[in-house]
Amino acid sequence: APTEYSKKLPQFATIINRRQLNANNATYDFIIAGGGIAGLTLADRLTEDPNVKVLVIEAGPIDPGLEGIQVPGSFSPWYYFWPNLLTVPQTALNNRVIGTVSGQVLGGGSAINAMVYVRGDADDYDAWGFMQRRGNSSFYGNSSVSSSMSWNTMLPYFLKSENFTAPDAAYALEANITWNPAVRGTSGPLKYTYPPYYFPGAANWWNAAQSVGLPPVDDPLSGVKNGIFPIPSVLDADTMTRNYAKINHHDRVKQARPNYHVLAGNIVGKVLFDPSCKKAIGVEYLPTSGGAATNVFASKEVILAAGGINTPKILQLSGIGPKKLLDKFGIKVVSNLPGVGQNLQDQPTLTVPYTFTNNLTPNSGSLMANATYNAEQRALYDTERKGAYTIISSLSTNIGQLSLKQATSDYQAIIAAARAANPADSLPADVDATVLAGYQVQREAILNQFEGDVGVGNLHWGTSDNALVYHLKPLSRGTVEIVTTDPLVNPAIDHRTATDPIDFAVYTALFRKNRELFAAPDMQVLGPAEGAPFAAATTNEEIIEVMRDQINPSNAHQCCTAAMLPKSLGGVVNSEQKVYGVSRLRVADISFWPMQTAGSPLGTMYAAGERLADMIKAEYGLA
Ligand SMILES: Cc1cc2nc3c(=O)[nH]c(=O)nc-3n(C[C@H](O)[C@H](O)[C@H](O)COP(=O)(O)OP(=O)(O)OC[C@H]3O[C@@H](n4cnc5c(N)ncnc54)[C@H](O)[C@@H]3O)c2cc1C
C-alpha cells in the first residue's frame, strides 16, 4: 500500500479503530465481513434505520484519494491488490502458476476495477431461477421480497442502485452512444456516464466489427447486448473521477450515520456460533498485519461480504464446508456443506499483441509514451475534465459481445461435443454428488445459452498494441480450499481453467473472430500484424497450444463459491442468502452467484446488495 495512507487517514466519525471498539465493549445488530460493493451497499441501506447499528470490518486500508484510484487515465490498481494471491499450477495451462487479482481496500473491487459498467444478459438471471427451481423446495425462504431470481426481479434493483448522467447529445451521436431511458436509473447512489472522448482508432475498430457481423446494440444495459457498444463507465460526470462503493455507499451518508461503523485494516478470521443452536453470534478478527485476535458480537446477524475467494475461506475456517476438508485441519464441523469453495468460476482473458505500420495517433498507447500529448491531455483533464484521462489507461471506449453463433459457424459441432461429454469428467474426481448434480443443471443452462443468443465472449482493442479476448461462459469449474487454520494465509485457488476441453473450442472460436475483425478493411488500413507467439498458429491445435501458454485464468471476476442453489444441488445459501445448517448468517458478495453472467460483475453486485438489503429490512421490520 502507498505511504500516503498512514499520513492522511481521514478522520470520519464513522471510522473506528480496535481500541475504540474494545473500549466500548460494542455489540452491533449486524456485523459485515468485507467492505466491498455488497458489504457497503448493505451497510448503507441497513443504517438508514437510525436504531440499527452496523459494523463493517474491512481487511484493507482506506484510500485517501490517490490519483491512481480516482483518475481513470492514471489507473494504478496494484496499490490495493490482495497480497500474494496465486493460483495452484493450472494443469490445462502447462502447469503455470498465475497471479490472480482481488481488491483489499475499503470499496473492494470497486476501488480498483476497470470501471466497465454493464449487466449480465437477461437470460443469465432467468437461468439462475431455472437452476434454483430444479432442486428441492426447502430452497425458498419466507421473505416478502420476491426471492425468485429473474431479469424481471433484478431490474428494479438495477434501477434503484444507479444514477446515470446522459452524455451531451451531439457527442453521443458522434460517439455512437445510444440508450433506452426505461432501463437507466437516475436517482440511485452509483454514478455513471460515458467518457467524453475516444481515440481515433476506435472508429476503425467499430466499423470493422460491423463488417464481420457484429451490429451496434441499442442499449447494453437492456439485458440484450450481443454486438458492439460504447462502454458505460462508473465515472462521476461532474468530477470525471471514479465513483466507487466507499464514495457512494459510505462517504455519501457518513455525516448523518453515527450508527454506521467501519473498522479498516482488520481481517475477519471466523464466525462465532452459539454451540447449543448453531446461531451466528459474532466474529473473531485480527489486524491484517498480524496480531492478537478479538471478538465482537452481533445481536441480529453476521453477513459475509468478503468476495469470491475470501468468503469460502471464512466459511471453511468457521466449520462450514466439506467435512473431509474441515477434518483435515481439525476444524469442528458446524455445517457440512460440500459446496463451500466448489464451483469457482471466472472469465479468463487472452492478450493478443499487435504491431501497426500505420496506426492512428493519438491512441491509448501514446498517452504515456508521448510526453507532449500526455501533458496536453493532463492539462485538459485538470482544467475542463475532458480528454484521454477520462478513460481507464490502456483501454478504449468500445467493446463487442458475441454469442457462440456470432463467433463461429461451427457452433452446432461444439454444442454436440459438449452434450456428448460426461459432465463428471469436468469436475475433480472426488467431487460430492450434490455438487455434481448442481453442475449438471448449470451445464444444461449454459448449453441452452450456447444454442440461443447469450454472450460467450468479449472482444476489445485498446487502440494500441494489443487486443483482448475474454471468455465469459467457461464450462470448467475450480475450487478454493484452505491450506491451514491461519486466517492470514491465502487459500489454495485452483481455477482449473480449460480443464473442460469445450472451453478451448469456444476460446478458439473467439480468437479466430478477433483475427477476422483485424483482417477487415477498416482495420487493415492501420497495417496490423499479430505478434508472437500467436502469429505462427493457424490450425486449431496450434492455437490451443499457444493458448495454454497465454490464457490468464482470471479477469478478477471470481465468483460462485458459496452458490445460491438448493442444497441438493451443492448450494450453500438459500433464496434469502442464508447459509444452510446454521442461523443468522448470510452471504452477500459475489460468492452467492450460482453461475457467471455474460457481463462484468460490478453492476450486478450493487443491485444484489440492494435486493438483499430489502429482504433483511423486511424480515426485521426496519425503516
Ligand atoms: C483489478 C480489477 C478489475 C476489475 N474490473 C472490473 C470492471 O471493469 N467491471 C466490473 O464489472 N467488474 C470488474 N472487476 C470485478 C468487480 O470489481 C468485483 O466482481 C466486485 O467488486 C465484487 O464485489 P463483492 O462485493 O463481491 O466483493 P469485493 O468488492 O471484492 O469486496 C470484498 C471485500 O472484502 C474484503 N475482505 C476479504 N476478506 C476479508 C476478511 N476476511 N475480513 C475482512 N475483509 C475482507 C476485501 O478486502 C474487499 O474489500 C474488477 C476487479 C478487479 C480486482
Tell whether 382 and 514 lie within a shared domain.
no
Question: How many structural domains does the chain have?
Answer: 2
Pinpoint the alpha helices (H) of 390-500: 404-407, 411-420, 433-451
How far, in Å, CA of 80 to CA of 82, rounded?
6
Cβ–ligand 1 distance for 57 under 6 Å, the answer yes
Tell whether 446 and 489 lie within a shared domain.
yes
How far, in Å, CA of 43 to CA of 53, rounded?
9
CATH number of the domain encompassing residue 369: 3.50.50.60
Tell whether 524 and 389 lie within a shared domain.
no
Tell whether 505 and 572 lie within a shared domain.
no
Write out pLDDT tens, residues 75-97.
Answer: 999 999 999 999 999 999 999 99
Q: Tell me how crowded residue 65 is: count the other CB atoms within 10 A of its CB.
A: 12
* Residue 21 pLDDT: 74
DSSP state letter for 12: -
Write out pLDDT tens, residues 411-440.
Answer: 999 999 999 999 999 999 999 999 999 999
Tell whether 308 and 443 lie within a shared domain.
no
* Residue 514, all three cell numbers: 478477433
Tell whether 362 and 301 lie within a shared domain.
yes
Q: How far is the CA of 293 from the centre of ligand 1 (A)?
A: 24
Q: Does 402 fall in a domain?
A: yes
Tell whether 425 and 544 lie within a shared domain.
yes
The residue contributing the CA closest to ligand 1 atom 27 is 307
Q: Does 623 fall in a domain?
A: no
Tell whether 492 and 593 lie within a shared domain.
no
Cβ–ligand 1 distance for 263 under 6 Å, the answer no
Domain edge (last residue) among 504, 519, 550:
550
How far, in Å, CA of 383 to CA of 363, rounded?
21
* Residue 23 pLDDT: 60
Tell whether 510 and 577 lie within a shared domain.
no
Distances (CA, A) of 359 to 122, 332, 374, 527: 37, 62, 18, 7
Helix %, strand %, coil % of the chain (to 5): 35, 20, 45
| Terminal Cα-to-Cα distance of the chain (whole angstroms) | 38
* Residue 223 pLDDT: 97
Q: Does 155 fall in a domain?
A: yes
Q: Please give the residue range of the domain that contains residue 264.
A: 4-344+358-395+556-618
* Residue 161, all three cell numbers: 442502485
* Residue 488 pLDDT: 97
Q: Which of 368, 389, 392 is nearest to 377 (CA)?
A: 389
The residue contributing the CA closest to ligand 1 atom 23 is 37
Tell whether 541 and 581 lie within a shared domain.
no
Residues lower than pLDDT 70 in the chain: 1-13, 23-25
Tell whether 165 and 282 lie within a shared domain.
yes
Domain edge (last residue) among 519, 550, 581:
550
Q: Which residue pairs from 124-127 have beta carbons closer than 8 angstroms and sit at least 24 positions apart in sequence? A: 124/151, 124/449, 124/454, 124/595, 124/596, 124/597, 124/598, 124/599, 125/149, 125/150, 125/151, 125/153, 125/154, 125/597, 126/150, 126/151, 127/445, 127/446, 127/448, 127/449, 127/595
Tell whether 203 and 309 lie within a shared domain.
yes
Domain edge (last residue) among 535, 550, 565:
550
Cβ–ligand 1 distance for 72 under 6 Å, the answer no
- Ligand 1: which of 57, 110, 303, 560 to mutate, most ligand atoms within 8 Å of CB? 110
How far, in Å, CA of 430 to CA of 542, rounded?
32
Write out pLDDT tens, residues 242-267.
Answer: 999 999 999 999 888 989 999 999 99
Q: Does 454 fall in a domain?
A: yes
